[in-house]
Amino acid sequence: MVKIKTLIKDGMVVDPANNLRKTTNILINGNTVEKIHPKINPREADVVINAEDKLVVPGLIDLHVHLRDPGQTHKEDLATGTMAAAHGGFTSVACMPNTTPVLDTPERVKTLVQRLKKEAHVNVFPVAAVTKGLEGEVVTDFEGLKAAGAVAFSDDGKVVQRASIMHEALKRAEALSLPICQHAEDASLSCGTVINEGEVAEKLGVKGDPDISESVIIARDIVLAARTGGHVHVGHISTERGVTLVRRAKQMGIKVTAEVTPHHLLLTDEYVLKAGPNAKMRPPLRTQRDVEALRQALADGIIDCIATDHAPHAAEEKNVDLADAANGIVGLETALGLVLTHLVGEKVLSLEDAIAAMTYKPASILGLDKGMLAVGKDADITVIDLNKKWTVDPEAFFSKSRNTPFSGWQLTGKPVLTMVGGKVVWSDESINIEVVNSDKVS
């Protein structure tokens, strides 16, 4: 196979993993980075991408995505979900196992991996179920699942409720050096709840979810992680109490990491009054005090990374009464713009810290050799226009689903090109791509 050489020239390259921030050029040979240098002759390349006045960063990574395939393809499928990822600047995503059937056997993971090679537009890393059928009773074949391609284990929204099962799972996962990603929610406290416990729930006449439903599970899992040496990753953390527990665990040297979503960083339960079911998710939007605690924890590094929890739903699953509506929102195509506008723009995070939280930090949690720009590494690259102003329009999404609370939001900063393994999988019309050697580039 003929290797195509691509030059990304004159971009501001920001790579937090290597403390790199300078205007330079990147030469890509086939699917890997060959050279990073301010002086590279364009004649060396077959394709030249002009990134002047643009930001060039390692490809974004999202470690918490629902692709709904197999079994729920009326909401999303491998092609549409990964195209939505590319549109949002993501070059790698980790997909949750709550599909139909559940990703709970090596054979199912192998089948998915084979399909991904043909259907996915970006890198997809499967997360396998902790328990068979997500039923919380019998731990799956961790060894076989890892060999098949799983990079982590999670029962996601079902939650591992029994401490004995979680204890066994952590021991087995620790032996494989893989994390268990836990949706922290005690079902005995959250059963029948609709949104966060508080004034908004009272106003709407629905049962509220107390913040301790999250922190009780986080506290238990920290104790189990300390006992087993296993790695617990707290998914979409949403409460001040949860943050306090994670902070203390890290101070004690316990193997705990955490992610937070853009919506939990930007919205409170008050927004349910405006957006209705499109602001309904698990965990629910919390209070302003929780939002401020999450922002501070992310800035301090207590929360390790940003993840979307991209959760597509069909219109008929959202366009119903709040109590009956499905939980979750789409997030892949809005995350970067929200982070740049409201976290970097409002000086909650530096640009470098924001990029780190969306590149090498999630890669590190999953043990992926991704999230950095260096010679010999995969050419997974995102080009961003920091000055591009745009309006969130769900009808322009590549995702099959439109369930977002951010419709109509005015944002500044947007990906304009996404490259996976040296191949441009999506680009905006504003980016200049010149084919220099048409004999090699068909």
Averaged pLDDT, 21-30? 98
CA-CA-CA-CA torsion sign (326, 67, 139, 259): negative
Give the residue numbers annotated as catalytic, written as ranges.
309
The pLDDT tens digits of the residues spanning 83-117 come to 999 999 999 999 999 999 999 999 999 999 999 99
Residue type, 263: H
CA-CA-CA-CA torsion sign (44, 47, 52, 54): negative
- Compute φ and ψ for 250, nearest 5 degrees: -65, -40
The pLDDT tens digits of the residues spanning 380-412 come to 999 999 999 999 999 999 999 999 999 999 999
Whether 441 shows a pLDDT value over 90: the answer reads no
The pLDDT tens digits of the residues spanning 54-74 come to 999 999 999 999 999 999 999
Per-residue b or e along 260-270, where b marks 16 or more CB atoms closer than 10 Å to that residue's CB: bbbbbbbbbbb
Whether 1 shows a pLDDT value over 80: the answer reads no
Domains and their CATH numbers in the chain: 5-56+378-392+408-435 (2.30.40.10), 59-366 (3.20.20.140)
Please count the CA atoms within 13 angstroms of the CA of 129 that sit on its side-chain side.
25
17 is written with which tokens?
Answer: 């993993």
Please give the sequence-ordered ranges of beta strands (E in DSSP) within 223-350, or none if there are none: 232-234, 256-260, 305-306
Whether 155 shows a pLDDT value over 80: the answer reads yes
SS (HEC) of 72-108: CCCCCCHHHHHHHHHHCCEEEEEECCCCCCCCCCHHH
pTM (two decimals): 0.98
Q: Could you give the CA distance from residue 398 to residue 85 in angstroms, rounded to a whole number? A: 9
Q: Are 209 and 150 in contact (CB under 8 A)?
A: no
Helix 212-228 and helix 240-251, axial crossing angle in degrees, nearest 10: 20
Whether 2 shows a pLDDT value over 90: the answer reads no
Taking all residues of the chain, what is their mean pLDDT, rounded to a whole number? 97
**pLDDT for the residue numbered 25:** 98
Averaged pLDDT, 157-166? 95
Q: Could you give the CA distance from residue 61 to residue 370 in angstroms, rounded to a whole number? A: 8
Please count the CA atoms within 13 angstroms of the CA of 396 that sit on its side-chain side.
11
Reduce the DSSP state of residue 153 to 3 states and report it: strand
Chain-centre distance for alpha carbon 269: 22
Which residues touch 110 (CB under 8 Å, ≥6 apart)?
Answer: 148, 149
SS (HEC) of 15-82: EHHHCEEEEEEEEEECCEEEEEECCCCHHHCCEEEECCCCEEEECEEEEEECCCCCCCCCCCCHHHHH
Q: Could you give the CA distance from residue 268 to residue 368 in angstroms, rounded to a whole number? A: 33
**pLDDT for the residue numbered 390:** 98
Q: Could you give the CA distance from residue 104 to residue 130 in angstroms, rounded to a whole number? A: 8
- pLDDT band for position 77 (cuts 50, 70, 90): very high
